[in-house]
Amino acid sequence: MNPEDVANSRNADHGEEKPSMENDPYISGKAEREIPPSVPSAYNRNTSAAIAPGKSRWKMYLLLAGFLIVLIGASLAAIMGNFDGNLYASGDKIAVIYVEGEIVSGSIYNGLGYATPDGINENIRKAVQDQSVKAILLRVDSPGGSSTAGEEIYEEVKRAHDEGMPIVVSMGNVAASAAYHISVPADVIVANPSTMTGSIGVIWTFENMSAYYDQEGIEFHVAKSGEFKDMGGSWRGLSDEEKEYADSIIMEVYDTFVTNVAEGRNMSVSEVKDIADGRIYTGKKAKELGLVDELGNFYDAIDIATELAGIEGEPTVVYMNKPSLSSLLFGSESGTSNASVEELLKRYEERPYGYLS
């Protein structure tokens, strides 16, 4: 077959009318603007696709309601079950008490980034009074904070130790300054090799905003009964005599800190002072200096506490104040969430005597 015959055969009429692109209404643009009924669309109100979003929305609402029911039930179970320290569990126990965040005075609940003597000391006393608790493990992860708040916790830890309760400290990322202070009465201090600890010392800061007040045209009239009564006011700097007096206060608090470290670590005061210049030490270096006893993690500390307590087999570990969702939502026996927020706000009020830490 020659090429001309092939071309003729391709163009031959086989009894079917071939569609013309020019006559196709959808290609030529002459089609009526309507959507074929076979295509589901939001415009077609009779199709199942139009009601699908409603069904999905109801499913979402049901799932959300179910989640809320489970959440409320779990929270109520946590509260009723004394989730913040189930001392009613059977067996010999090790009570774990967390000291996390900045150490401050007040009743801010654990889990808000602060640790307070009110909450920590209460849990220490509960553990000491329970005959089934054979040892206390303090899990310390704090950069320090208020010297006074630290001394309060130190005294409670020391009291528990003096009453015969074995105490182990497990240091986390950081356990410095006041956080180290509260650790020294323990029988054994366990730190990670890279834990930041030490920072033995005291600092007292004062704000002098007099230049700002002058710039803004703000004037103060101060009526005082004594020369030092407005010491630390932000409207002026310290006089030379006040600076000297502040230094004497600092050294008095520092001497107490050093003496407590020396007693707790079986070191002389001079040995402590040689390394108590505010420096931070790694856990590894702190062990070399005698500031910690062992290098290890939390579970190593549990094993040491178990051995000190003379517990045979696996102990029952109870977490006295581990932050939980229920505690943050509903507060605790020692306070409510609203009270914690109020205490937190006080941290940002003006301090007429500076901040001692």
Segment 2-46, tens digit of pLDDT? 545 544 554 444 444 444 544 554 444 444 444 455 544 444 444
The catalytic position among 59, 224, 229, 243 is 229
Does the structure show a pLDDT above 90 at 236? yes
* pLDDT(328) > 90: no
H or E element: which one contains 175?
strand 167-176
Both tokens assigned to 113: 């980034």
Residue 293 CA to chain centroid, in angstroms?
A: 26
346 is catalytic: no
- pLDDT averaged over the chain? 80
Whether 177 is catalytic = yes
Q: Rounded to an integer, what distance in angstroms lies between the CA atom of residue 85 and that of residue 63?
A: 32
Q: Report pLDDT for 80.
A: 43
- Residue 78 pLDDT > 60: no
What does the pLDDT average to over 50-71? 70
Gap between the Cα atoms of 96 and 301, Å rounded: 11
pLDDT at 113: 77
Whether the pLDDT of residue 241 is over 70: the answer is: yes
What is the arithmetic mean of pLDDT over 149-170?
97
Q: 198 pairs with which residues across the strands?
A: 176, 280
Catalytic residue among 107, 170, 177, 326: 177
Do residues 96 and 299 make contact, with C-beta atoms less than 8 angstroms apart? no
Listed ranges 79-88, 208-217, 317-326; the one with the highest mean pLDDT? 208-217
The answer to whether the beta carbons of residues 238 and 206 sit under 8 Å apart is yes
Check pLDDT > 70 for residue 114. yes
**Integer angstrom CA distances of residue 261 from 102, 151, 152, 186, 270:** 20, 12, 15, 11, 11
